[in-house]
Amino acid sequence: MSKILITGGAGLIGSKVTEILFKNGHNITILDPFIRYLPTEKIRFPDYLERRFTEVEIEKLSFIRGDTSNAGLVQRTIDELQPDYILHLAGMPLANQSNIYIEEAIQGIVGGTVNLLQSVISCKNLKNFVYVSSSMVYGDFDAIPCPEDHPKRPKDVYGGSKYSGEIMTRVFAQRFNIPCTIVRPSAVYGPYDINRRVIQIFIENAIEQKPITLDGGGDLQFDFTYVEDIANGLASALLHKNAIGEDFNITYGKGYSLKEVADELLNYFPKLNVIINDDRDMNRPLRGALDIQKAKEILDYNPKFNLKEGINMYVQSYEHPNMK
């Protein structure tokens, strides 16, 4: 049984990794300030935070309510816990919000990462520090599927901050001999998200019998990844000794268009009004599938849920009578 610190562990991805690691017998501490990024009027459905830990004995998890921007708290947490592993998910996860709340994004993503890295210099037992980055560090994809050695040309505050966090992780790892791994997820979706990412918006509009709008003519592609797949991939990246010093794309590994998402939803909401909008936001990187071969080979990563299966589980989680 290992002692594992998960920053941002109360979030969509963090709570799922917690469940997996807890069920494998590990001792989990979560450092998280339980942030809501969206105003309450936008959260039209129940705040699903409380449903995230239903699969674990919650009293056996340790929660520290706190922010990685608080250097003193981070140092005390690391000194007292002396974790064997750290999974670092904390930080503003929304690209659009990071361009508005710029200081908060940079302080959390870059400053918080540096605070953690400084604190683990004195941590003698640490076996791995996983920095959770994003596919947004690549900017527009030149190649599809996009490999890990693709040029890093982030286009916004979020991508730039995530990439800065990667650079600082590598610098500290090299200078202070900290074992580390970098993981780049993309377009994660699944039950109990409260951040209103695209699939959540589409499902909730469908339940409320409101239209959904497909930007970019519906052809824009994303590597939509079901939350359980990324969570399993992160658990492997954290614990696998061959992960150290590596960077990995961990996604489903296939580009799905917004039109394909809408088509899946029509199976559950046959009257769904789908509006096609030919415009697209040019500030958002043009993306698609990521190359996940490296994670498959080194981590035995094997994503299980294609879009059809993932959307089915996500839609069912709403348990709403408006579904077919």
Ligand X SMILES: NC(=O)c1ccc[n+]([C@@H]2O[C@H](COP(=O)([O-])OP(=O)(O)OC[C@H]3O[C@@H](n4cnc5c(N)ncnc54)[C@H](O)[C@@H]3O)[C@@H](O)[C@H]2O)c1
Catalog residues that contact ligand X under the rule CB under 6 A: 7-8, 10-14, 31-35, 67-69, 89-93, 108, 112, 132, 134, 185-188, 195
For 93, phi and psi rounded to 5 degrees?
-95, 5
Q: One-letter amino acid identity for 9?
A: G
Alpha-helix runs per DSSP H in the chain:
12-23, 71-81, 95-98, 102-106, 112-120, 157-176, 198-207, 227-239, 258-266, 293-299, 307-317
Q: Distance between CA 232 and CA 215 in Å, rounded?
A: 31
Least distance CB 68 / ligand X (angstroms)? 4
Residue nearest to ligand X (CB): 11
Which of 95/123 has CB closer to ligand X? 95
* All residues at 6 or more sequence positions from 303 whose CB lies less than 8 Å from its CB, including other chains: 225, 226, 229, 233, 251, 252, 253, 292
Which of 63/267 has CB closer to ligand X? 63
Which of 11/145 has CB closer to ligand X? 11
Which of 188/203 has CB closer to ligand X? 188
Least distance CB 4 / ligand X (angstroms)? 15
Q: Distance between CA 53 and CA 146 in Å, rounded?
A: 33
The two counts, helices (H) then strands (E), for the chain are: 11, 13
Which of 185/233 has CB closer to ligand X? 185
Least distance CB 324 / ligand X (angstroms)? 27
Q: Distance between CA 22 and CA 16 in Å, rounded?
A: 10
Per-residue burial over 96-107, b = 16 or more CB atoms within 10 Å of its CB, e = otherwise:
ebbeeeeebbbb
Q: Distance between CA 156 and CA 268 in Å, rounded?
A: 35
Q: Distance between CA 284 and CA 282 in Å, rounded?
A: 5
Q: Distance between CA 18 and CA 7 in Å, rounded?
A: 11
Least distance CB 271 / ligand X (angstroms)? 29
* Tokens 């870059």 belong to residue: 110
Least distance CB 162 / ligand X (angstroms)? 7
Least distance CB 273 / ligand X (angstroms)? 26
Which of 135/205 has CB closer to ligand X? 135
Which of 42/321 has CB closer to ligand X? 42
Instruction: Give SS3 for 206.
Output: helix
Q: Tokens representing 86?
A: 């750290």
Least distance CB 138 / ligand X (angstroms)? 12
Least distance CB 270 / ligand X (angstroms)? 28
Beta bridge mates, 247: 182
Which of 18/205 has CB closer to ligand X? 18
Which of 134/205 has CB closer to ligand X? 134
Helix 71-81 vs helix 112-120: angle between axes, to the nearest 10 degrees?
40
Least distance CB 137 / ligand X (angstroms)? 10
